[in-house]
Amino acid sequence: MRVTLKDIADEAGVSMMTVSNVINGNRARVSPETIERVQRIVAERGYVPSASARSLTARSSRLIGLLVPAADEDSLTLSPHTAAILGQIERALRKRGYHLLLRGIAHPDEVAEALQSWSLDGAVLLGFLDEEIDLLRPGAAGKVALLAIDSYSANRLTTGVRSDDHTGAWLAARHLIDLGHRDIVFAGPAFSDVGVVHQRFEGFRQAFVDAGLRWDDRLIATVTTTHASGVQLGARLLAEHPSATAVFATADILAIGIMAGLAESGATVPADVSVVGFDDLDISAYVTPKLTTVAQDIARKATIAVDMLLDSVQRRKAPAEPVTLDVRLVERDSTAPKRARQRPTS
């Protein structure tokens, strides 16, 4: 039988309110002896506070929503990058005594509905385009605090945490330029004049400007951020861009797919084509060849995101200014100095 608050109070010889205050940390008017006695009985009886009761007492659900785009209305597929951040956010919330609820959003107009239909203290928006976050209007979230990860939206309803995408792509391009590469394909999803991919493209192109070089916009390869799309691009890469000797992909999973596709086409990485990714997911060190990539600290990003969101939740204050985290280049085996590609013999 479940141990109740009343059971603890009866055994300790105190009121239920006193037990509740001890459990919830409101101990200013409780003697040290009573605190010790209540805590001992709680431990001995294995008492677990009711989440709903604690929510009513604290006027807080201690629930944080994580909203991510759904590919369609029937399924929710998480990229390795999204899954990695999700795991770190759940861990950080659990350490702070909060619970995570995951919700897939098939259409942007479902965001407001999700925020208003749950008893959430706060919500994290992950993987949404800036244009979608810009659509949120005052009142859409009610009293739910919002934080967007990897966003450059200027919507003041949210705060944000992101990596230094511009510098990361600059580091990737500069690394390839220093190895002698000039015809470098930029591979990533379609982008507008805002957002993560735009920042990475501008950083990539700036590296050429800083090196006094000209880069050809015809080397842009627009592709979705999936392994399968990367394989398809890699298989046709040299047919479409015969002068290319290197590729910068805006995500590790895409870069790994490109390497597989290049192998299918008979090209060798890095002897024929060097490849650089972005994220430094665990898998980047396990593939062959090991992937050179731009590392972002996903665990730190998640921790800072949770700290910022809960600070807004607990202090009921306006969102803080966005935080941008440093990145670094991790050199592995998928890049090498440019060398003349051998022409096939007939």
Asked whether residue 343 is assigned to any structural domain, the reply reads no
pLDDT in tens, 95-122: 888 999 998 888 877 888 888 777 888 9
- Compute the mean pLDDT over every residue in the chain, rounded to the nearest whole number: 88
Same domain, 169 and 292: yes
What percent of the chain has pLDDT above 70? Answer: 91
Sign of the Cα torsion 105, 108, 109, 115 reads positive
CB-based burial label for 278 (10 Å; 0-12, 13-18, 19+):
buried
Same domain, 137 and 173: no
Same domain, 223 and 277: yes
What's the average model confidence in pLDDT over 337-342? 75
Predicted local confidence at residue 318, as pLDDT: 67
Same domain, 179 and 191: yes
Asked whether residue 339 is assigned to any structural domain, the reply reads no
Same domain, 183 and 122: no
CA atoms of 160 and 148, how far apart (whole Å): 5
Residue 30: domain span: 5-58
Beta strands in the chain (DSSP E): 63-69, 99-105, 122-126, 145-149, 158-163, 184-188, 220-222, 246-249, 274-279, 292-296, 323-325, 327-330
Query: Of 149-158, 187-196, 287-296, where does the model show the most confidence?
Result: 287-296
Residue 319 scores a pLDDT above 80: no
Asked whether residue 337 is assigned to any structural domain, the reply reads no
Query: Domain containing 311 — which CATH number?
Result: 3.40.50.2300
Predicted local confidence at residue 345, as pLDDT: 43
Predicted local confidence at residue 60, as pLDDT: 65
Residue 263 scores a pLDDT above 50: yes
- Amino acid letter, 2: R
Predicted local confidence at residue 346, as pLDDT: 41
pLDDT band (50, 70, 90) for residue 74 = low
Report pTM: 0.81
What percent of the chain has pLDDT above 90? Answer: 57
Same domain, 131 and 190: no
Cis peptide, bond prior to residue 32, ω within 30 of zero: no
What's the average model confidence in pLDDT over 146-165? 91
pLDDT band (50, 70, 90) for residue 25 = low
